[in-house]
Structure 1
Amino acid sequence: MARLLTSGDIRTLSRGLGITPTKKWGQNFVVDANTVRRIAAAAKLAEDDVVMEVGPGLGSLTLALIEIARKVIAVEIDPKLALALPTTVAHRAPEEHQRLVVVETDAARIDPAQLPEPPTALVANLPYNVAVPVVLHALEHFPTLRKGLVMVQAEVGDRLTAQPGSKIYGGPSVKMAWYAKAKRAGSVSANVFWPVPNVASALVAFERIQSPDANRVEVFGAVDAAFGQRRKMLRQSLKAWAGEDVDAVLERSGIEPTRRGESLDIAEFIALADAKEALGGTSRT
C-alpha cells in the first residue's frame, strides 16, 4: 500500500524542489490524507480503469489512485512537478509505481495521441481558473471516458450541475448535460489545502451518457448565443446564431420566442439546432 503524503511531506518536497504554489497554474495542494482517501473512494474506480489525473502536483491524490486503478496517466503542466512525480511515487509506492505515466502538457489542449492508452476515468483536483474548459475538453476529445470525479471551486460545481430555471444555470450546465449526468458528490474544506484558498471547494461526479443524435457544434452555438445575452428573450439573443432565420427556427422547434436561455434544457437546445439545420442545411460535425 502506498504511503500517502502528509502536510509535512508536502512542504519538505516543495522546499527540496524549490517549488512555491503559483496562482498562474492555480496550484493548491491537498495536504490531508483522509481527504485524499475520500476522493479516491468517491471516484468509484475499478481495477481495470485507466485514470487521467489532471494537475497531480506533488502526488497526494496520485498515490491513492494507483492503489486502485490499473494505470494512472498524470497530466502535469509544471515541468518541475512532472519531473519529480515519478520519483516520489516510486519511493512511496514501490509495488505500484509502474502503473504511473506522466505526461507534461496543458490538459486544456491535450490530444489523445499524447497518451499511451485511452483513459476510462477522469479524477482530478482542478485549478479553479481552468476547471470548466478542462472537463469539457476531456469529454469532447476522449470518448472513452466513462466517468469522472473532479474537485472544483464550489461555485463551479454548482454551475456544472445546475438545472434549468436556476440563476446559476448557464452554458457549462448545458454543455455538461450534453456529455454526461453530473451531480454534487460532496464538499471539501479549504483547510485541507496548502496554500489555503479563499473559496470553498466541491466534488462533482459524472457518468457519460450516449451522445445525442444532433450537431454538437450547432447546439453549443445556440447555447453560447442564448447565455451570451441571458437577460434577453430568445428572439433577440439567438439572432447572432440564427440570423434572419431566428423566428423560423424558434417556430419550427416549438419554443416560445419570449423565453430566455436559462429556461431551456439540453433537449430544447438540440431542438433549436435541429430546426436550424433543417431550415439552413448546416452540415453535421
Structure 2
Amino acid sequence: MADALLGPAEIRDLAARLGVAPTKKLGQNFLHDPNTIRRIVAVAALRPDDVALEVGPGLGSLTLGLVGAVRHVHAVEIDPALAAALPGTVSAAHLTVHPADALKVTGDRFDPAPTMLVANLPYNVAVPVVLHLLAELPTLRGGLVMVQKEVADRLTAGPGSKVYGVPSVKLAWYAEARPAGKVPPAVFWPVPNVDSGLVAFTRREPPADVPRAAVFAVVDAAFAQRRKTLRAALAGWAGGPDRAESVLRAAGVSPQARGEALTVGEFAAIAGAARQQGYGGKLTPSGAEPEEKNS
C-alpha cells in the first residue's frame, strides 16, 4: 500500500485538528490499527480492477488501505465534517467521497459502479445498510464488512441455529455469507464494549423466480412469532390457518415446522405457492430487524 496507514496517535491528532469527536448517534468507532486494516484488505480478496464501496469511512483509516488495492473507491459518509475532511487525508485521484446517508443512496450516483462492499459499518444500522446496498447495487459481486460480533453471528447463521433469523435469511437471498474472523475492541477509538466480527459474502442468483418482497413478507411473518408453528405464524399473512396450511403443503413444507428450520429456498417456495393460490398478505419492506448500538 502506497499510503501510510493511521495508528492511534495519528487518529487522535487528526480528530483534534478537525475538531471531531466520535458520537454514539452515528455509531462512530474509529479503526486505528494498521495490522487490522491490512488484514481486512487481504481477507476481502480485492482485485486491482475492483471498485470498492466503503460506508462510514470516518477519519480515513480503512480508506487509505483500500485506495492502494483497487482502481476506485467510493466512500459514503453521513457526517458532513468527516466527508469534507476525507480528501485531505486520502489524497487519491481515484477516491470519490459521497456526503450521504448509506440507507438512502441510489445506484445511479456511483460511477464507476461498485463491485465490492468493504466497510467498518456503524453497528446501529449495519444490517439495513448491507441489505439496502445489495438491493440497490446489482453490480456488487461480494464484500467484507465488520459488524458487532453478535450481528456477524446472526448474518452467517444457518437454519437450526439459535441465532438464525430475519437478517440471516434476507442476506442469504442475495449472497452466500461466511464468518471471516473476530476483531478485538482495542483496535477502535473509542473502545466498544463488544467484540466485532468480519462477514464475507459472495453474491449469487436468487434461489427462485419469486419477487423478493413477496419472499421477505413470508420471512417477516414467520419470525414475528418464533415459537409458533408455521401454520400458526403465517395465519395472519395467509388469511387464516387453513389457508396457511394449504400454502405450506403446496410448497412441500410441513405446517408443523418453525421458521428457524427453513432455508431461504423454502421461504421462496412458500411465497411462490401463495401467489399461485392467490393467498399472501400485505407485502412488507425489505428491511431487517433493528440492531442495538453497543459502544
TM range (shorter): over 0.9
Equivalences for 1:19-58 in 2 at 5 Å?
Answer: 19-58=20-59
- Selected match of 2:120 from 125, 129, 146: 125
Give the counterpart letter for 1:40 in structure 2.
Answer: V
Q: Which of 136, 145, 162 lines up with 1:141 in the alignment?
A: 136
Does residue 171 of the first structure (1) align with residue 166 of the second (2)?
yes
Select between 66-75 and 210-219 the one with higher mean Cα deviation: 210-219
> Do the aligned residues in 1 keep the contact of 2:238 with 2:279 (CA within 8 Å)?
no
In structure 2, C-alpha distance between the alignment counterparts of 1:144 and 1:241, rounded to whole Å? 33
Q: Distance in 1 between matches of 2:185 and 2:264?
A: 33
Does 2:11 align with 1:10?
yes
Cα distance in structure 2, aligned partners of 1:24 and 1:256: 44
Deviation at 1:54, TM superposition (A): 0.3
Alignment match, 2:257: 259
Residue identity (%): 58
Distance in 1, matches of 2:277 and 2:164, equals: 29
Report deviation, 1:188. Answer: 0.5
Residues 1:156 and 2:151 aligned together: yes
CA distance in 2, matches of 1:119, 1:73: 8
Normalising by the residue count of structure 1, what TM-score does the alignment of the two structures yield? 0.95
Which portions of structure 1, spanning 4 or more consecutive aligned residues, are displaced by more than 6 angstroms? Answer: none
Match of 1:278 in 2: 276
**What do you get for the CA RMSD once the two structures are aligned?**
1.6
Unaligned runs of 5+ in 1: 91-96
Question: How many Å separate the matches in 2 of 1:173 and 1:232?
Answer: 19
Tell me the equivalent position of 2:235: 239
Q: Is the 8 A contact 1:103 1:115 kept in 2?
A: no
Residue 255 of structure 1 and its aligned partner are, at CA, apart by 1.2
1-structure distance, mates of 2:236, 2:55: 35
Q: Which residue pairs with 1:103 in the alignment?
A: 98
1:196-235 residue pairs with structure 2 within 5 A?
196-212=191-207, 213-235=209-231
1:98 counterpart SS class: coil
Q: Which residue of 1 aligns with 2:60?
A: 59
1: CA distance, partners of 2:71 / 2:236: 47
Relative contact order, higher structure (CA 8 A, sep 6+): 2
Compute the displacement of 1:247 (Å). Answer: 2.0
Name the SS of the counterpart of 2:270 in structure 1: helix
Aligned residue for 2:84, secondary structure, equals: helix
Decide which moves more: 110-119 or 150-159: 110-119
Give the match's secondary structure for 2:239: helix
Choose from 260, 266, 269 the match for 1:268. 266
User: What letter corresponds to residue 251 of structure 2 in structure 1?
Assistant: S
